[in-house]
Amino acid sequence: MILDIINKKRLGEELTYKELDTFFNGYLEGTIPDYQMSSLLMAICINGMSDEEIFALTKIFIDSGDVLEFAGIDGIKVDKHSTGGIGDKTTLVIAPIVASLGIPVVKMSGRGLGYTGGTIDKLESIPGYRIDLSDDEIMNQIKDINVVITGQTACLVPMDKVIYALRDVTATVSSIPLIASSIMSKKIAGGADKIIIDIKVGNGALLQTREEADKLSELMIKIGKVYDREVRTIISDMDAPLGYSIGNSLEVLEAIDVLEGKERDNPFVDLCIELASHMVSMGKNISLEEAKKLVIGSIEDGSAYQKFLELVKHQNGNIQKIKVSENTVTVKAKSSGILKKINALELGKLSLALGAGKEKITDKIDYTVGIKLSKLIGDSVKKGDVLATIYYNKKKPDVSYDKIFVIQ
């Protein structure tokens, strides 16, 4: 039976709900070994899945754990997810903006595996910040201040935790049906009424082409319809890193700069405003233009930053104690011209080598290391200008300048 299921998918045939349920739940319960699950995942990766199979798999994922209701929370609950990228600290900026405008934000974020930390790792770089709130604490905090960013509870889609860990080590992460089921199951089980997904495309992202991103977008919207949730998607560039900073403490400090209105008019700030505007538009049932005015206003009048401070205080963090390494090296421009490229993937690899991300689940993150860019794409530079500062601890980093920067 198990071999028949693998064989069927190997031949590109459609699996039934029962076959998928038997296989995936067998894996979760430990009766199906890693090698058979890996084989099925690879067959899915190569041959894809029909919409019916994807809906079935999403349901199997959701049913593997609890579905959070947050019934006591007034208002439309809006959630956001990013497929992940280098320097992506948008949640830290968006959640306080949206909450400051009266929309409840319960954000359950994950850790990073791969090049950089996830949102939860970034928040843990704020000394004292608690990422393990209980359901009761979440409810109380939402009632008090309208915003929570905490870790995913163990009972939220446990199937995704085990399957994602296996996908990560079997080169099956980039399968579009598997990404769609993984993300949508967590959003639906997490109790969101409306969802915005930021699909990243580029060399520092899971997806490399616009066609793949369009396919994923279409699928997520269809899954949302099955569960009666409004899903919007945006497709954004990940050939260059997002913003100036990569690395946990550095990214929190950059998010603070944006919330304080110190950093403006760059693609990272534009993306935060766009995503937050979608959330506010969905949460208040208003047009995107109206929402955008409110979002910009919440940064300009300081209310978004105040909300961030309330959030950190409620979760015990102290931003005065955020540390970055004192060991730095600068990277200087080798020629004059316009900065044409900053390679996200290479900077991701560098940040991993510095210790800002994890290669294995058991690795320990160094929150204080990372990369701070001084120039962004399109800036004009003179030979000798500082392009980036590298914060390191373990050993002085090797920077592959020619792979990272292109000046023309």
Q: Which residues bind ligand URA (CB under 6 A)?
A: 83-84, 178-179, 182-183, 206
Among this protein's residues, is 264 annotated catalytic? no
What is the DSSP track for 49-86? --HHHHHHHHHHHHHTS-----TT--S--EEEEE---T
Residue nearest to ligand URA (CB): 182
Closest-CA residue to 204 (of 13, 352, 391, 385)? 352
Q: Tell me the three state secondary structure of residue 151.
A: strand
CB of 179 to ligand URA, least distance (A): 4
Burial class of 380 by CB neighbour count within 10 A (0 to 12, 13 to 18, 19+): exposed
What is the DSSP track for 91-120? HHHHHHHHHHTT--EEEEE----SSS--HH
Residue type, 209: T
**Cβ proximity to ligand URA, 84 vs 348, nearer residue:** 84
Closest-CA residue to 216 (of 67, 82, 61, 112)? 82
**Cβ proximity to ligand URA, 182 vs 325, nearer residue:** 182
Among this protein's residues, is 277 annotated catalytic? no
CB of 196 to ligand URA, least distance (A): 15
**Cβ proximity to ligand URA, 92 vs 163, nearer residue:** 163
Among this protein's residues, is 314 annotated catalytic? no
CB of 168 to ligand URA, least distance (A): 9
Among this protein's residues, is 402 annotated catalytic? no
**Cβ proximity to ligand URA, 199 vs 339, nearer residue:** 199
Choosing from 79, 88, 121, 160, the catalytic residue is: 160
Choosing from 109, 181, 182, 185, the catalytic residue is: 182
Element (H, E) at 371: strand 370-373
**Cβ proximity to ligand URA, 109 vs 343, nearer residue:** 109
Choosing from 167, 187, 229, 375, the catalytic residue is: 167
| Count of helix runs (H) and strand runs (E) in the chain | 16, 12
Q: Name residue, tokens 């020629």.
A: 335
CB of 391 to ligand URA, least distance (A): 27
Among this protein's residues, is 160 annotated catalytic? yes
Choosing from 59, 77, 80, 81, the catalytic residue is: 81
CB of 303 to ligand URA, least distance (A): 30
E strand residue ranges, 270-313: none
Choosing from 122, 186, 358, 375, the catalytic residue is: 186
- State the catalytic residues: 81, 160, 167, 182, 186
